Structure 1
Amino acid sequence: MIVITAPTGNIGRPLLSRLLESGPAAGEELRVVVRDPARLPEAARGRVEVVVGSHGDAEVLDRAFEGADAVFWLVPPDAALTPRDAFSGFTRPAVKALAAHGVGHVVGVSALGRGTPLADRAGLVTASLAMDDLIAGSGAAYRALACPSFFENLLEEADSIRDQGVFTDVVDADRRAPLVATADIAAVAARLLLDRSWTGTGSVPVLGPRDVSPNDLARIMTGQLGRPVRYERRPFDELSATLVGYGLNEEFVQGIVDMKRAKDQGLDAGVTRTPGTASPTGFEQWCAQTLKPAVRS
């Protein structure tokens, strides 16, 4: 039995799709924890067991983890909380449930940066790494998917790209990073969940096929969309003021700013790309398949 949390999100949805394709053939039963079952893909209806509720709720987890062999764990960060509460606070009930039900394997979504000088002052990344340590103490074998920023973050800029030909961030225009497609993260998660020969705890880096900078992204988008697209760098203070103005928890906002500042200083550049860490989807492909339709919709 594999339990999937956050099965309707950018990583959980393609993960569930992959497991529906290969899990039954491998003799795996699937169970999902979801607040709104109506958001599950049609292909999942009648093929997965559904536990309704939040995977931050101890009673929900007690039902979800009963008889489970493996769990996919993804925390949906809550901007109304502090980073510590949003990650470790949300995860503590899961750690108790993992131990209580003797779950053998957990695959979680985390971040790059462990072991680097920036890891202790990287905001949300620091909080995510602390969550990994918490899960590692549950007694289950654990693999943290150490991810950089996602291509999918650019979908939030689709309107600006369409209307103004501009996307923004706070990192240097030439700062290259191993950005990744969420579907590729899902593919790695599926492999680990289905082949549970691994033991102990550790991290599995999931990197894009090559490092790209904001200027690289602008150049590729210009070619794919057939119109000029440029990158504008925002000041960190402006980002902070904007997010606080949206009503986000000020400590959470500081966590976002600290994370982005650490990334601008090279947080995601500490892992060597190898055939085992490089994912297949390049930005050109992702832009054509995902961003282009979103911009033109």
Structure 2
Amino acid sequence: MRIAVTTPNGNVGRHLTRMLVRAGVRPLLLTRHPDQLSDELRGHVEVARADSWDRKEVVAATRGVDAVYWVDPTSASEDPMADYARATEAIVAAVEDNRIAKVVFQSSVGAEKRHGAGEIDGLAATEVALDALGIDVAHLRCGYFFTNLILQIEALRTGRIETALPLDAPMGWVAPRDIAEVAAMVLLDCSWRRRRVQAVHGPEDLTWAQVGEILTGELGREVVVESVPDEAMYQQYLAAGMPPALASAVLGMTTGLRDGFVPEQPRSVMSTTPTTLRTWVRDELVQAL
């Protein structure tokens, strides 16, 4: 089976690529920046330059491919929903033109709402488009990435993190490496057919208050988490350089999943992964700080 992997330098893709190599697969890596791949991988992978927002490039790069691990690229533009639509058009065209039989899509918890969850609505639209193709498609509904904490590295250094969520609201937190492990197993498993939804909830649901306690204990310094109003968070996103539409879409991922939202798939042995936040902080966040 010839497997293509998008965003191979990403938080999930870099782990997935190595897992597939260890499994005896020579994956085809689709990337805008082939020069950024590590030298140690080059003898074990194929590489094609392709922008996941470019329909023609994705179609050309995936000729002869049997399965794709697809990630909608993160948008930084003034119209993030248009970027998600472009990415959706690219993977749909690749599947149709190249008769790709299997897609494993990196989606998110909240995509089941379909509307009202900010940027996650873009992922929901990709899910719907892939479902309409009648192929074997698996949607990985992932929880909140541990690595999102790295985006707040300066705040962590000051000992104060802000969120628009209530501090006592539990949600799934997950290590990207664990998502990659699930993705590898789903890609290599030939027993499933048609549509599959696989939640990846991480090891346990955590509140932001618990996250603050874990960070304080593992970093050896006090980390205070404060809940702030939506408008204050929106202004912070604007101050960080986000265009207004993008700031609204990013904030919408929080507000859309805040009040009474329950994931479609409950926590179970199928959706629970092993890496704890404490372990990830020791292994990765400490080095980043």
- Specify the TM-score bucket, using the shorter chain as the normaliser: over 0.9
Structure 1: gaps spanning 5 or more residues: none
Aligned to 2:130: 135
Q: State the shift of 1:36 in Å.
A: 1.3
State the partner residue of 2:37: 40
Q: Does 1:15 align with 2:3?
A: no
Shift of 1:104: 0.6
Question: Aligned residue for 2:195?
Answer: 201
Residue in 2 that maps onto 1:155: 150
Distance 1:251 1:268, change over 3 A: farther
> Aligned letter for 2:21?
L
**Which one of 79, 89, 94 corresponds to residue 92 of structure 1?**
89
Which digits, 9 at most, give the CA deviation of each residue in 1:129-155, with x for residues without a partner? 111111222342111100121111001
**How far is 1:250 from its partner?**
2.4
CA drift at 1:212: 0.5
Give the distance between the partners of 1:165 and 1:244, measured in 2 at CA. Answer: 22
The separation in 2 between residues aligned to 1:179 and 1:42, in whole angstroms, is 32
Which stretch of the first structure deviates more once superposed, 121-130 or 261-270?
261-270
What TM-score do you get using the length of structure 1 for normalisation? 0.91
Q: CA deviation at 1:115?
A: 4.6
Residues 106, 80 of structure 1: alpha-carbon distance in 2 compared, 3 angstrom cutoff: same
- Does 174-183 or 131-140 show the bigger shift? 131-140
Shift of 1:266: 4.3
Mapped to 1, the partners of 2:264 and 2:137 lie a distance apart of 21
Q: For 1:185-196, what aligned pairs fall within 5 Å after superposition? A: 185-196=179-190
Report the counterpart of residue 50 of structure 2 in structure 1: 53
SS of the aligned residue for 1:179 comes to strand
Match of 1:94, as an amino acid? I
Corresponding residue to 1:68 among 65, 69, 87: 65
**Map of 2:233 onto structure 1:** 239
1:270 CA displacement: 4.7
Q: Is the 8 A contact 2:53 2:83 kept in 1?
A: no
CA contact (8 A) 1:102 1:140 kept: no
Indicate the residue corresponding to 1:82 in structure 2: 79
Look up the SS of the partner of 1:264 in the other structure: coil
Query: What TM-score does the superposition give when structure 2 sets the normalisation length?
Result: 0.93
Query: Following the alignment from structure 2 to structure 1, what is the Cα–Cα distance between the partners of residues 85 and 190?
Result: 25
- Residue number among 260, 275, 284 corresponding to 1:281 in the alignment: 275
Q: Is 1:216 the counterpart of 2:210 in the alignment?
A: yes
Distance 1:5 1:205, change over 3 A: same
The alpha-carbon distance between structure 1 residues 84 and 174, as it changes in their structure 2 partners (threshold 3 A), is same
Are 1:124 and 2:104 an aligned pair?
A: no
Structure 2 gap segments, 5+ residues each: none
Q: How many residues align?
A: 288
Q: In terms of mean alpha carbon deviation, does 171-180 or 256-265 score higher?
A: 256-265
Please state how far the C-alpha of 1:228 moved relative to its aligned partner: 1.3
Letter in 2 for 1:130: A
Q: How far, CA to CA, are the matches of 2:239 and 2:18 in structure 1?
A: 37
